[in-house]
Amino acid sequence: MNDRLWFLATALAGIFLLFTGRLFHLQVINGSHYAQLVEQSRLVSEVIVPRRGRIVDRNGAAIADTRPIYNLGITFAELESRGRGRRELPFWRLDERRLDALVADLTGRVRWTGTMSLKDAMVRELLTHPGVAVRSGKDSLDAHLGLVAVPRVALAPRGRATAQGEPIDAGRGEGDPVAAGPGDSDIAALAESDLLSEDPREALVREISARWSKDVIIIGESEFDAACARLDQDFNLGERDQPDGDPLERSANVLDPFTPSFVLRVPVGIEPGGEMRFGELPLRILVPERRSQAEATLARVLGESQPLVHERFERALASVKEHPTPNTLYYAPSAQAEDIAPLMPEGQVLCEIPVPDVPGARERILIIQGDPADGEGLCTKLSRRIAADLGAEPDLIQALIYKHAERIRAITCERDYRIHQMAIDPERLDRLANGLASQLTALGKPTTRLEVDAALAKVRRAADKEWSGQTRYDALTIIPEIPHALAVRLWGGNSEPPSDLIKDYDDAKADLPGLVVQVDVGRSYPFPGSCSHYLGTIGRADAEREGDDRAGLLPGSLAGVNGLEKIYDTQLRGVAGNRLRVRTPDGIRVLRDEPATEGSDLVTELDMELQTLAEDSLEHYYELAQALGTATERMDKARQVGHGQAGFCLIDCHTGGLLALASAPGFKIEDLRTHYAELLKDPGRPLNDHASECDQPPGSSFKILTALACLENEVIKPTEEIVSQGYMARKGDKLIFRDHAPPGTYDLPHAIQESSNIYFATIGARLGPTKLIEYASRFGFGKRGREHVALDVWSERGGLLPGPKNIAAMRPREPHWVPHDTWRTAIGQFATGSPLVCVTIAAAVANGGHVVRPFLVRPSGGPPEVRDLHIRKEYLEQIRHGMEMVTEPGGTARLLVLENEAKGIKVAAKTGTAEWGDTNQTTHPDHAWMIGYAPADNPTVAFACYIRCGTFGGQACTPVVKKVLEMYFKKYGHEGHAAAR
C-alpha cells in the first residue's frame, strides 16, 4: 500500500513540476514574445502607393499619365469567427483520392449533361466559394518535368544534313561552323538507342516514370474520343437504357473526370532562320490509381464486371493509338539528358522543353468549412449551390461530402499545413456579399452574389498564403477600378460602434463588414494606341515577384512589367509609404503614418506630334500615295497581302535620339487585358512592333552599307566606273542574277541613283562575304538576344545575318556558301533588318561616318558613345551625292520634294524593293523600303520607312516620308530640333 502511495505522490509531483515549468516558460521566458504576437494580431498595416511619374515627350506632353483609381477591398479578419465557436467548428478535407471517390459516387446518382466534366463542374463550384480553402498535399510529386529535343540532322554522320534538309539546332551560335561530332560510331549508337523517340508523348511518359515512379498513360484528345466511342460501341451504349428508362451515360462522361487534360507545347521543327517552330498537343493523362477508379465507376454504371471493363478499355486504347507525324526533331526525357549529351556531336546543344502544369504533379487539397452545431452554416449553403448547378438534391451533395471527406478541426489544419485556417462567420459573409451585390447593382454596376463570392474566393487564395502585405489583416482588392461616385457611396460601409458599446445600439452592425475603399494610382494614355509597343505596362508588386525585395519594393506598390515602365521603373515608381493602425475598443487608431514619395517624370526624345502623324500616315499610306499620284493597281492588290503592316523611324542623326518610332497596325494598351485574343488573331499582327522587329530583308537600302564597307576597305573608288550588262553570269541561254537598272556604265553616285544590282553585287564580291558581314554587324544586323541596336526599345527583335560560317545551320539543303550568296547579301536580299536598324545606315552617312545607337530616353551621362567608321571625307561625299540624286528628276524617289513651310529643303534618300518568298507578285508582293536624311546640306534627322508588300519604295514610302518631314521642318525649321527639355 505504501509503495502505491509513494508512486502516486511521485507521479503527481512530476506532473506538478512539468506544469509549473511549462507555465514558467510561457509566462516568463516567452511572455514578451506572445504578448508581441497578440499585439501584432491587432495591427493593420496599409501600404500607401506613391504617385507614379509620368512618361512625357521632348516637349512635356504626357504619353503615360497618372490617374486615381478606386478599388473595393476586403479585410478577411473582419469576417472571421472567434472564440469557442471557431474551435468547435468542423472542417471537411477532400484530397484527390477522396474527391475522385465522391465524384465517382455522384456519377451513378445524377444525370449530368453539362459541357464540362462532372468533376470540373463540382471543383469549379468549390473553388468559387469563399468558405473553401485550398492547400497543397504533403507528398507532392516532382513538378519540374521537362523534355529535350535533338535535331535529326545532328544524327547525320559528321554533321551532314538529313534527307529532310531541315536546319540544325538553333542553339548553335550563328558564327559557328557545322560540328563534326565525336565520331560516327557514337552518333550511330545514339541513333540506334532507345533514348530518343519521334513521339513527344512517349518521351513524356518516360520522363514521368523516372520522376514520379508511376507508369502513366498519355493519349491525345482525339485518341480519347475515339477510345470512348469504341467503348460505347462495344457496350451498345446507344441502345441500352437504365432500369428507369433513361439512356445510360456515355463512357466519355464517366471517364472524363479521371483523365484530366492538359496542353503540351513542343517544338516541331526549326525555321530557316534558326528559330524553333512550336506546336500544341492537347493531351490527357491517366495514372494507375485513377484508372482503377475510372474502370470501377464505368463498371457500376454499365452493370458489368470490372475485369471485363478493364479488358475492353485496354483494347480500345490500343486500337486508337495514333502514330506521330515525322518532323525534324527527336525527343527524350530530360532525366536522360546526361546519357544523351556525351553521344551528341561536338558543339551540338540539346534544346530543353519545360513541361508545366501536368495534372497530378501537385496534389490539391480542398478544405470545406462545416456547419456549426447550433444551426446552418457554409457547408449547407455550398451544398445547395452545387446541387443547383448539377441538378441534384442538396441533401445528397451534403451527405456525399460527409461520407467521403475527412472531418477535422481548425487546429488540425493549422498543424498539418502550418497556415492559419480562417473560419468565416456565415452571417457576416451573407451581409457583405448580399449587401455589396445589391448596392453595386442599384448604383449602376450590375453584380450578382455569385460574382461577389467568386471574387472573395479568389482573394482568399492570396490571403491564405500569408505573404507580406497580403494577409487576412490587410485590405485585398476584390473589385478593381470602380467609378468615383460609386466609391463615395460605399465609403464607410464597414463602420460600426466600438465593441463595448455595440450592445447599446439597435441594428448597429456594419452593412458591409470588412469592406474597404482603396484609393490607388493607375495609368491614362492621352494618345490612345500610340507608342504601345514600347511604353510597357505596370502591375502590382507582391511577394512572389522575384527581385521585388532586392529592388526595395513594398508589396502593393506599382511596378513596371515591361517596356519603358520596367526599364526606368526605379525612377518612375517613387517610394511607397506605410500606415500602421491598431484596433482598440474605441475604434481604429493610427500609430504610424509615413507618406509616399512621388516618382519622377521620364522625359523621352519622342515628339508626339510627329509620332502620331507617322502612325496615321502608315495606316493610310495608300490614300497618301493616291493623293501624290504614286499609287498603282498593283499596290492596291498587294496591300491585301500585307495587311497594313508597316514601320517608320525618325532619329537625331548625330545622337541617335528617337523622335518617332511608329508601327502599324497598332493597339491600345488597355486592350491587352480585354481584347488580347482578338489582337493575337489579327492578320495585321498588331502586337508585333514592325518598326523594330527584324523579320524581312531591307532590299536596296542595304546597298548604302555595302558602299560604306567597300569604301572603308578601299576595294573601290567612288569615281571608278563598272560596266553592267544587265546580269552577273550566263548559263546557256539562262541569265543569272539580272539587274533592274538599264545596262550601262556606273560610278558610285549613279549606281545609287539607278539602284544597280550588278554594280553593288560586283563590289560586294570584291570585298568578300566575311568582311561585308562583319561590317553589317557594326550597324546591328544579326544581333540576337540582348545585343540590341537601341538602348531601351523593349520590343526590338534581332534579325538574321547569314555568312559562310553559319550558312549550313540556316540552309542545310545547300550548306555551302556560293558566289550567288555574296551577291544577294550585297544588295540586301539575304540579311533581315528593321527600320530601327536600317536608320543607322542613313544616320552614319548624314553625320560624317559615325554609327549611333538609337535611344528613347537620353542616358544620364549624355548620348551613348558612337562608333566611328574610317572613311575618307571625299568618299563619303560621293555617297551623299548619290543619295541626293535619288530625289532628283530621274531618281527612284523623284517625288520626295518637300512643300509648304519646308519648301526648298532637299532630302537625300535611298529606296528599296525587297523580294521575299517566291517570285509570284500576287501571293508575295515586294516590300517597300526607304532610308535617308534631311536637310541634305546640313542633316539633322535620319529616317527609315518599311511597308510590307508596298511593291516599291519610291511609290509607297515617299508620301509617308514626305508627310512627316514636312511637319518636322514646319515645327523646327531648317536648323532642326533642340535637346529634349
Pairing of strands 351-355, 145-151: antiparallel
Backbone angle region of 14, left / alpha / beta, with phi > 0 → left and psi within -120 to 50 → alpha: alpha
Tell me if 742 sits within 8 A of 756, measured CB to CB: no
How buried is residue 214: exposed, middle or buried, by Cβ count under 10 Å (0-12/13-18/19+)? middle
Tell me if 257 sits within 8 A of 117, measured CB to CB: yes
pLDDT of amino acid 505: 58
Collapsed DSSP state (helix, strand, coil) of residue 589: strand
Judged against a pLDDT cut of 60, whether residue 40 lies above it is answered with no
Calculate mean pLDDT across residues 546-555: 46
Calculate mean pLDDT across residues 886-897: 93
Q: How confident is the model at residue 168 (pLDDT cuts 50, 70, 90)?
A: very low
Tell me if 73 sits within 8 A of 475, measured CB to CB: yes
The three cell numbers locating residue 918: 517566291
Select the more confidently predicted residue: 881 or 473. 881
Tell me if 55 sits within 8 A of 535, measured CB to CB: yes
pLDDT of amino acid 51: 84
Beta bridge partners, 68, equal: 521
CA nearest to 211, candidates 147, 142, 149: 142
pLDDT of amino acid 607: 96
One-letter identity of residue 136: S
- The phi, psi pair for 908, rounded to 5°, reads -105, 135
- The phi, psi pair for 803, rounded to 5°, reads -155, 175
Judged against a pLDDT cut of 70, whether residue 551 lies above it is answered with no
Please, what is the average pLDDT of the chain? 83
CA nearest to 843, candidates 792, 797, 879: 879
Judged against a pLDDT cut of 80, whether residue 659 lies above it is answered with yes
Query: What angle do helix axes 621-628 and 633-642 make, rounded to 10 degrees?
Result: 170
How buried is residue 734: exposed, middle or buried, by Cβ count under 10 Å (0-12/13-18/19+)? exposed
CA 723 to chain centre: 53
pLDDT of amino acid 143: 56
Provide the sign of the torsion angle of the four alpha carbons 291, 296, 301, 306, taken in this order: positive
How buried is residue 40: exposed, middle or buried, by Cβ count under 10 Å (0-12/13-18/19+)? exposed
Collapsed DSSP state (helix, strand, coil) of residue 462: helix
Residue partners of 5: CB distance under 8 A and separation at least 6: none
Q: What share of the chain is helix, strand, coil (3-state, %, to 5)?
A: 40, 20, 40
CA nearest to 378, candidates 413, 412, 437, 422: 422
Give strand ranges (E) for 782-907. 850-851, 867-868
pLDDT of amino acid 212: 73
One-letter identity of residue 366: L
pLDDT of amino acid 720: 94
Judged against a pLDDT cut of 60, whether residue 414 lies above it is answered with yes
pLDDT of amino acid 615: 97
Query: In whole angstroms, what is the distance from residue 648 CA to residue 614 CA?
Result: 7
Q: How confident is the model at residue 142 (pLDDT cuts 50, 70, 90)?
A: low
Judged against a pLDDT cut of 60, whether residue 502 lies above it is answered with no
Q: How confident is the model at residue 272 (pLDDT cuts 50, 70, 90)?
A: low
pLDDT of amino acid 178: 35
Select the more confidently predicted residue: 569 or 120. 569
Neighbouring CB atoms inside 10 A of 743's CB total 13
Calculate mean pLDDT across residues 310-323: 85
How buried is residue 718: exposed, middle or buried, by Cβ count under 10 Å (0-12/13-18/19+)? buried
Query: What is the DSSP code string of 329-355?
Result: EEEEEGGGHHHHGGGSPTT--PEEEEE
Tell me if 883 sits within 8 A of 845, measured CB to CB: yes
Tell me if 355 sits within 8 A of 206, measured CB to CB: no
pLDDT of amino acid 20: 79
Over its C-alpha atoms, the chain yields an Rg (Å, rounded) of 36
pLDDT of amino acid 248: 57
How buried is residue 338: exposed, middle or buried, by Cβ count under 10 Å (0-12/13-18/19+)? exposed
Select the more confidently predicted residue: 733 or 346. 733
> Cell 473589385, residue?
479
Judged against a pLDDT cut of 70, whether residue 924 lies above it is answered with yes
Q: How confident is the model at residue 163 (pLDDT cuts 50, 70, 90)?
A: very low
Neighbouring CB atoms inside 10 A of 750's CB total 18
Calculate mean pLDDT across residues 84-103: 88
Select the more confidently predicted residue: 838 or 462. 838
Q: What is the DSSP letter of 900?
A: G
Select the more confidently predicted residue: 167 or 118. 118
Tell me if 382 sits within 8 A of 131, measured CB to CB: yes
Query: What angle do helix axes 306-319 and 221-234 make, rounded to 10 degrees?
Result: 130
One-letter identity of residue 908: A
Select the more confidently predicted residue: 519 or 249. 519
The three cell numbers locating residue 916: 521575299
One-letter identity of residue 378: L
Select the more confidently predicted residue: 784 or 17. 17
Among 150-164, 670-684, 793-807, the least confident range: 150-164
CA nearest to 183, candidates 155, 211, 223: 155
The enclosing H or E element of 848 equals: none
Calculate mean pLDDT across residues 179-189: 50
Judged against a pLDDT cut of 90, whether residue 771 lies above it is answered with yes
pLDDT of amino acid 160: 39
Judged against a pLDDT cut of 80, whether residue 162 lies above it is answered with no
Select the more confidently predicted residue: 318 or 940. 940
Q: What is the pLDDT of residues 355-406, one digit of tens each?
A: 866 776 667 899 999 999 888 899 999 999 999 988 889 999 999 999 999 9
The three cell numbers locating residue 683: 492578320
Beta bridge partners, 285, equal: 218
Residue partners of 975: CB distance under 8 A and separation at least 6: 940
Judged against a pLDDT cut of 70, whether residue 503 lies above it is answered with no
Judged against a pLDDT cut of 80, whether residue 541 lies above it is answered with no
> Cell 453595386, residue?
440
Q: Of the spans 104-108, 109-113, 311-315, 435-439, which averages the highest pLDDT?
A: 435-439
pLDDT of amino acid 747: 96
CA 957 to chain centre: 32
Through-space distance between the first and last CA atoms of the chain, rounded to whole angstroms: 101
pLDDT of amino acid 613: 97
Judged against a pLDDT cut of 50, whether residue 691 lies above it is answered with yes
Tell me if 727 sits within 8 A of 735, measured CB to CB: yes
Query: In whole angstroms, what is the distance from residue 787 CA to residue 854 CA?
Result: 13
One-letter identity of residue 65: D
The enclosing H or E element of 432 equals: helix 426-442
Beta bridge partners, 262, equal: 283
Query: In whole angstroms, what is the distance from residue 189 CA to residue 183 CA?
Result: 10
CA nearest to 204, candidates 160, 245, 148: 148
Judged against a pLDDT cut of 50, whether residue 920 lies above it is answered with yes
Using omega within 30 degrees of 0 as the cis cutoff, is the peptide bond preceding 935 cis?
A: yes
Calculate mean pLDDT across residues 467-475: 78
CA nearest to 841, candidates 921, 920, 775: 775
pLDDT of amino acid 567: 92
**Which string of b and e fits 665-683 if b means at least 16 CB within 10 Å?**
bbbebeeeeeeeeebeeee
Q: How confident is the model at residue 546 (pLDDT cuts 50, 70, 90)?
A: very low
**Which string of b and e fits 442-464 if b means at least 16 CB within 10 Å?**
eeeeebeeebbbbbbbebbebbb
Judged against a pLDDT cut of 80, whether residue 420 lies above it is answered with yes
Tell me if 849 sits within 8 A of 833, measured CB to CB: no
Calculate mean pLDDT across residues 305-328: 82
Collapsed DSSP state (helix, strand, coil) of residue 570: helix
Q: What is the 3-state secondary structure (H, E, C) of 720-758?
A: CCEEECCEEEEECCEEEEECCCCCEEECHHHHHHHCCHH
Q: Which long-range contacts (CB under 8 A, 24 or more apart) does 284-287 make?
A: 284/218, 284/219, 284/220, 284/221, 284/224, 284/259, 284/260, 285/216, 285/217, 285/218, 285/259, 285/260, 285/358, 285/359, 285/360, 286/216, 286/217, 286/218, 286/219, 286/258, 286/259, 287/214, 287/216, 287/360
Q: What is the pLDDT of residues 815-858, one digit of tens each?
A: 999 999 999 999 999 999 999 999 999 999 999 999 999 999 99
The three cell numbers locating residue 266: 513542343
pLDDT of amino acid 181: 39
Give strand ranges (E) for 498-645. 515-524, 538-540, 558-560, 577-584, 587-594, 602-603
Q: Considering the chain, what percentage of its residues have pLDDT values greater than 90?
A: 43
Q: What is the pLDDT of residues 203-261, one digit of tens each?
A: 888 888 777 767 788 988 889 989 988 888 888 776 555 544 455 567 888 888 788 88
pLDDT of amino acid 402: 94
